[in-house]
Amino acid sequence: MDYLPLARRLRPQNFSQIIGQELVAKALMAAIDKQKIAGAYLFSGARGTGKTSLARILAKALNCENLASSEPCSNCLPCREITASKCPDVLEIDAASNRGIERVRELRENITYLPHYCRYKVYIIDEVHMMTDEAFNALLKTLEEPPPNVKFIMATTNPDKLPATILSRTIRFNLNLIPIPVIVKRLSEIATDLNLKLTEQVLYLLAQKSAGSMRDALVGLETIVNLKKDDLELQNIQLLIGWHNFDDVLAILNDAFSENSDGALHKLNQLLITGTSASNLNADFLRFIRTMILSKSIKAHNNYHQQEWLPNIYKKILLLAQQLSLPKLQQAFDLFLDLELKSAKSLFENWMLEITLVKLSHLQDLVGVKEMISSLRQVAKTQAKQTKQAKINTTTIDFSSIKDKLSKTTEKSAILSSSDFAPHNQQIDSENKKLHVENVVNDYKEPTPTKDDTRLDIAKPVEPSEPAKSVVPSELAEQVTPPTPDLYDWTSFLDKNLSNLKDNKLKSLISLLKPIKFDQKVLKVASDNDFIIKTISDKEKLKIKEWLQSSCGFPIDLEYGSAAETTQKSYLETKELTQEKLHTKIKHDISLTEEVKTLTNLLPGKIIGVELDEN
């Protein structure tokens, strides 16, 4: 009696025995139950996923004499003949060896004949993508309008090579790779029936080696099925089927990522000596690194990749992944993927794998653009702080120069207070000294007018007979003048700030406005054109006020009426008021200068401070 391999002996004989393609089986059963059978079907998928098995079961269901619940009975004559591949009405054609137009012409001639004893004449064309273009063109019309008693079932592992005209004339089903847990469960059931005691590690090893193909898993199981019980150890099975230990692969990766290229190469050579191929090792490296990347990239409740590994192996993978960054793992994956592409036609796979491990041991973490920008900003902030601190620490002047300057002039705007100086007998530590320097600088440094400055420089000579010009203290300037340097030059102020305003209508309205007066720190503006001012909506007025307030730095009030004469008069009144208060302040400063002289005579040596401007 001839021996049947496990893959043939355990081939599914009905839809319920299909493993991993249950949804496709349900769709076919529904079509049979409703008697809506198409003229041509196409099953596409990887090897060993059940394409031919589904085609034969479908042929049996179409011709079964005792069909029950869309399942063939497997006992009637058509079912038995189809199972034994002896039915004259079910023809299996290998397109790889019958790919020419002559074979298609012969097929077209034969389909005109009625079936011998079956309901349908079924043509199963395997690896249909191997047919020539001429053969496909000759088959088009037959596929589109086959005779009522003829059905075509085609199978292919590469549907992309099929012409679109063929695909559009068939009902297509895509068969997925069978998940590893499903293969492990099926192998466990078969091993139990065969009285084989296989460990879970051996079952996972066979399932992973099959790469989603049930037929490959059964072939691997058949390799060890005749071994004695004492020989069914993981190490023996690995040597027998040409596989390797996952712990050894993890050890190589661990050494390489730890920059221990010597240890990684030594372990690699030990595996290669035992007969392990470089291509299998490279595939395992890719599988391990892929699992590490997914474990760091997706949420814990979505760890579908965890089902591909034994729990103890998966824990080791996670432990190694925690020590590595995601960019480094991505670089490592690219290295082994590049090796996979380059070594396909190379005679030096072992050498290329060794060099790839050396490259892996010298990988450095990539720095992203976000991290680079953050680092540069941090460096810039540190340098700015150091520069500012250096300037403050070096600001030291001779106190005697201040006495000389105070004695030469009686028109100093800065008022020195004895509370600004620490007593000479008090010990000031470095931190207090820095704080003291900052206070003195802020109190006595003359401000430089800028765009955002809130003070107005009105220290201009009024008449030749008046005293020398003086700097008005900031608190006095805020009481009598608007806090903007461009108030007296309103046109210049608008030119500088209106360029940033995108609303053209608001630009034109604001350009018509002129300042009238500054009363209680509120600037009032109006326009010469009463009609335009009155036509401005409340919403536009609000936008104008908000823009002026943000640009000038103080509240704005819009008024109606002509602004030309009022503006000139308001400016003159403001100027006279400023000059009058300025003279009063200067007289007060002269009296305080005498007090400063007395104070400076009591303070010997130098102090920390800033020079006073002679002017």
How do residues 413-470 score in pLDDT, each as one tens digit? 343 333 343 444 344 444 444 444 444 444 444 444 444 444 334 334 444 444 434 3
Residue 16 phi/psi, 5-degree rounding, is -70, -20
| 253-267, 344-358, 453-467: segment of lowest average pLDDT | 453-467
Percentage, residues of the chain above pLDDT 90: 15
Sheet (strand 90-94) strand order: 90-94, 121-126, 150-156, 40-45, 171-175
The partner residues of 92 in beta bridges, in order of sequence, read 124
Whole-angstrom distance, CA of residue 416 vs CA of residue 610: 12
| 9-13, 41-45, 115-119, 535-539: segment of lowest average pLDDT | 535-539
Arithmetic mean of pLDDT, 525-533: 66
- Running DSSP on this structure, what letter comes out for residue 68? B
pLDDT of residue 418: 39
pLDDT of residue 453: 43
Q: Which of 443, 445, 404, 399 is nearest to 420 (CA)?
A: 443
| 15-29, 190-204, 307-321, 599-613: segment of lowest average pLDDT | 599-613
Residues in the chain, how many?
Answer: 615
pLDDT of residue 43: 94
Sequence-distant (6+) residues with CB within 8 A of 216 are: 47, 48, 209, 210
Give the 3-state secondary structure of residue 314. Answer: helix
Between residues 365 and 154, the one the model is more confident about: 154
| 93-102, 176-185, 266-275, 573-582: segment of lowest average pLDDT | 573-582
Helix (H) or strand (E) holding 134: helix 133-144
Whole-angstrom distance, CA of residue 317 vs CA of residue 592: 81
Q: Cα separations (Å) of 190 from 195, 322, 372?
A: 9, 38, 57
How do residues 364-399 score in pLDDT, each as one tens digit? 776 667 777 877 888 888 888 888 777 666 555 555
Q: Is the pLDDT of residue 151 over 80?
A: yes
Alpha-carbon torsion angle 453, 459, 460, 466, nearest 10: 170
Give the number of other CB atoms < 10 A from CB of residue 162: 19
Buried b / exposed e along 356-391 (16+ C-beta atoms within 10 A):
bbebbbebeeeeeeeeeeeeeeeeeeeeeeeeeeee
* CA 86 to chain CA mean position, Å: 58
Looking only at the bridges linking them, the beta strands covering 121-126 and 40-45 are unpaired
Most confident of 234-238, 409-413, 509-513: 509-513
Sequence-distant (6+) residues with CB within 8 A of 74 are: 13, 14, 60, 80, 83
Give the 3-state secondary structure of residue 508. Answer: helix
Sequence-distant (6+) residues with CB within 8 A of 123 are: 91, 93, 107, 111, 150, 151, 152, 153
* CA 400 to chain CA mean position, Å: 65
Looking only at the bridges linking them, the beta strands covering 522-527 and 513-519 are antiparallel
Sequence-distant (6+) residues with CB within 8 A of 575 are: 458
Contact 104, 135 (CB under 8 A): yes
Percentage, residues of the chain above pLDDT 70: 68
pLDDT of residue 400: 57
Arithmetic mean of pLDDT, 198-216: 85
pLDDT class of 342 with cuts at 50, 70, 90: confident
Task: Show the tokens assigned to 244.
Answer: 């390797």
pTM: 0.54
Arithmetic mean of pLDDT, 74-86: 89
Whole-angstrom distance, CA of residue 38 vs CA of residue 30: 12
- At which residue do the structure tokens 């088959």 appear? 139
Mean pLDDT of the chain: 74
How do residues 544-569 score in pLDDT, each as one tens digit? 878 777 777 667 777 655 544 454 45
Q: Which of 36, 62, 215, 191 is nearest to 124 (CA)?
A: 62
How do residues 280-321 score in pLDDT, each as one tens digit? 888 889 989 998 998 888 776 566 677 777 777 888 888 898
pLDDT of residue 120: 92
Q: Is the pLDDT of residue 405 over 60?
A: no
Arithmetic mean of pLDDT, 40-64: 92
- At which residue do the structure tokens 């007090």 appear? 595
pLDDT class of 27 with cuts at 50, 70, 90: very high
pLDDT class of 56 with cuts at 50, 70, 90: very high
Sequence-distant (6+) residues with CB within 8 A of 354 are: 265, 268
Q: Is the pLDDT of residue 492 over 80?
A: no
Whole-angstrom distance, CA of residue 27 vs CA of residue 194: 33
| Ranges assigned E (strand) in 389-495 | none
pLDDT class of 606 with cuts at 50, 70, 90: very low
- Running DSSP on this structure, what letter comes out for residue 130? G
Arithmetic mean of pLDDT, 121-136: 90
Give the 3-state secondary structure of residue 287. Answer: helix
How do residues 170-187 score in pLDDT, each as one tens digit? 999 999 989 888 999 999
Give the number of other CB atoms < 10 A from CB of residue 289: 26
Contact 476, 585 (CB under 8 A): yes
Contact 97, 155 (CB under 8 A): no
